[in-house]
Structure 1
Amino acid sequence: MPARRLPDITALEVVVAVGRLGSMGAAARDLGLSQQAVSSRVRGVEHELGVEIFVRSPAGVEPTENGRLVLEWANALVERAAEFVAGVDTLIGNRHATLVVAASMTVAEYLVPGWLTTLTSRTGARISVRPMNSAEVIETVRSGDADLGFVESPGETADLDAALVATDELYVVAAPGHRWSRTGTVSADELASTPLIQREPGSGTRITYEKALSELGLVAADPLIELRSVTAIRSSVLTSNGVTVLSRLSIADDIAAGRLVRINVDGLSMVRPLRAVWTSHITVRGPARELLDVALASAT
């Protein structure tokens, strides 16, 4: 008996997407194809295998008993194919590739430079780092415009895979002349009601601050000023009577030198994870894998 021919991998990718999303229409939108094209490819695979994979209904599709097995095998095959392509790309392009990294502001300014110093001694890949806020990092990685991302916000990372690379803490700080600096402490209620110099919406720092207050049943006042960079906020606080919340990574030297004063807030915890994120269902390879390994090693 002749060996059965393997269905086209791109057609199997369509079948896997339909099984994952539960409808032809959803798979079509996800893959950027017409619904007719998706339906045609699914029927083609079913005909080629001689197995009915899905039962159709107005509400969507459900895998048959045999279809569940086919989907399990097809998913494994698609993943192996993606690894094969990524591996070959690594072999032929490792020394000429540009690694695009999307990083939240704190990570981009205070951690990535050290990681890149280590990485450039290992690889000849060109590296492009794009600083942005955590929400923008997630969207950039999800859209495929970055190979690897780093975020500093708590909570889920949408549909991306993630790995913890460090733990950070936010400090409430003010210049020495601020009235809170005299006592070095303030209540959570007074902090919440005070307009701060803040990052923009979508920033991991702002998300962490607002989440910490919400856990105490408090809502943050509208910002006094919104600025998009850590450096701009730090400079603004140093030269004004304002208060802000910033990563300890960005202000440890200022606190040690007396340029800024850390304000203690009873009951307020602002510890947050710093995580690497990448497209789910793929194996990180090449320069992206090397950078991820450097970041993970720095956390140990």
Structure 2
Amino acid sequence: MTHRPRSPRGPRGPLPSTTALRAFLAVARWGSTAQAAREVNLTQSAVSKQIQTLEEHLGTTLFERSPTGLKPTDAGALYRPYAEAAIEQIERGARRLAERAALSRPIRLHMLAIVGERWLMERFPHFAEAHPGIDVQFTNFVSEVDIEEADLDIVHGVGPWPGRDSHYLFGREVALVAAPSLLERMGGFARPADIQTMTLLQHFQMPAYWAEFTEAHGLRGAVPAHTVRYGYYSVIIRAAVAGLGLALTPRCFVTEELASGALVNPLGLGFESAAGCWLTVNPQSRQSADRDTLLAWLKAEARDFERSA
């Protein structure tokens, strides 16, 4: 690459591209268009073209060939710190924009409907008041076409979940509940085996509750007189209050009904399930101070919630 000296005449035309500036700085560092090409991921001829374009814009020669390779001319040496400063400012601006985007991006929290209804929504105003700058968006459903998955997900099952940070929240303590009117209508509830004469209200995703209950109370192989399946705990609880059957449900979700007498826990029957509510963290979620603040608050509130159930 050989250049004829040009007399400075000042820049003309549009400002140089960042590609041209990066190519210039790479050649200045390495003294070689071949090595510079590898650094900036261009062909050697493309690097030479970028340097030529920059020289035409500035109206001066930036490099001269020496025994050790390409060496900046006086003009090149003078221009180099300005090119470095320009690239640094552009990169700094990009970082600031990325930081701003991270701060302004809402935290997406996916959860079971019953978790929001019976636990989170009544507590969340305290978090919002303490952290007004943290934007949390709630959902209990992520569609198949949703391109942005939730950052945090409250799920029910037997954890932990491989590939995800997961934290147990509550819900392993399961109680048998029924409306007092139902028990009176059925002639009372004197022993665990009496459950076989009644209708069981069952969550369709938790058939294991019946097996766990019968195992805990020496009723292996027993079956209820009738089973009605529902898709939501909130509907199961309403149906139990209405006297439509007995229900096995996490005790923490029926504390209000048990306290008011709308539901009772016959003979104190229940069991500790292998399943519960867990808070899981999407491994693709961008870590941030706001997300970590919300995560810590949810875990602390869950501990208090389970203790009070």
Please tell me whether the aligned partners of residues 97 and 125 of structure 1 are also in contact (alpha carbons under 8 angstroms).
no
TM-superposed CA distance for 1:88, in Å, is 7.1
SS in 2 for 1:196: strand
Name the structure 2 match of 1:99: 107
Name the structure 1 match of 2:248: 245
Q: Which runs of 5+ in 2 are unaligned?
A: 1-29, 42-94, 305-309
Q: Which runs of 5+ in 1 are unaligned?
A: 9-86
- Percent of aligned pairs with the same amino acid: 15
Alpha-carbon separation, structure 2, partners of 1:231 and 1:267: 19
Name the structure 1 match of 2:179: 175
Name the structure 1 match of 2:68: none
- Count, aligned residues: 212
Alpha-carbon separation, structure 1, partners of 2:266 and 2:98: 49
Cα deviation, 1:259-296, whole Å, max 9, x if unaligned, reads: 11113476843375432101238674243322211112
Alpha-carbon separation, structure 1, partners of 2:252 and 2:270: 22
Amino acid in the other structure paired with 1:102? H
Q: Which of 153, 163, 169 matches 1:165?
A: 169
2:229 aligned with 1:226:
yes
Alpha-carbon separation, structure 1, partners of 2:179 and 2:100: 53
Alpha-carbon separation, structure 2, partners of 1:185 and 1:284: 54
Name the structure 2 match of 1:212: 212
Label 1:263 to 1:152 Cα distance change in 2 as closer, same or farther (>3 A). Answer: farther
Name the structure 2 match of 1:275: 278
Cα deviation, 1:129-171, whole Å, max 9, x if unaligned, reads: 2226xxx89x999x95211011232244243220223454221
Q: Which of 118, 138, 149 matches 1:145?
A: 149
2:172 aligned with 1:131:
no
TM-superposed CA distance for 1:240, in Å, is 2.6
Amino acid in the other structure paired with 1:257? S
Label 1:283 to 1:225 Cα distance change in 2 as closer, same or farther (>3 A). Answer: same
Please tell me whether the aligned partners of residues 165 and 275 of structure 1 are also in contact (alpha carbons under 8 angstroms).
yes
SS in 1 for 2:114: helix
Please tell me whether the aligned partners of residues 154 and 208 of structure 1 are also in contact (alpha carbons under 8 angstroms).
no
SS in 2 for 1:111: helix
Amino acid in the other structure paired with 2:183? R
Label 1:259 to 1:271 Cα distance change in 2 as closer, same or farther (>3 A). Answer: farther
Name the structure 2 match of 1:236: 239
Label 1:231 to 1:165 Cα distance change in 2 as closer, same or farther (>3 A). Answer: closer
Alpha-carbon separation, structure 2, partners of 1:119 and 1:140: 30
Cα deviation, 1:199-241, whole Å, max 9, x if unaligned, reads: 232xxxx266146248565586697333233332222122234
Please tell me whether the aligned partners of residues 160 and 167 of structure 2 are also in contact (alpha carbons under 8 angstroms).
no
- Normalized against structure 1, the TM-score is what? 0.55
Q: What is the aligned-residue RMSD (CA, Å)?
A: 4.3
Cα deviation, 1:180-208, whole Å, max 9, x if unaligned, reads: 88655542x6647854222232xxxx266
Superposition pairs for residues 102-113 of structure 1, below 5 Å?
102-113=110-121
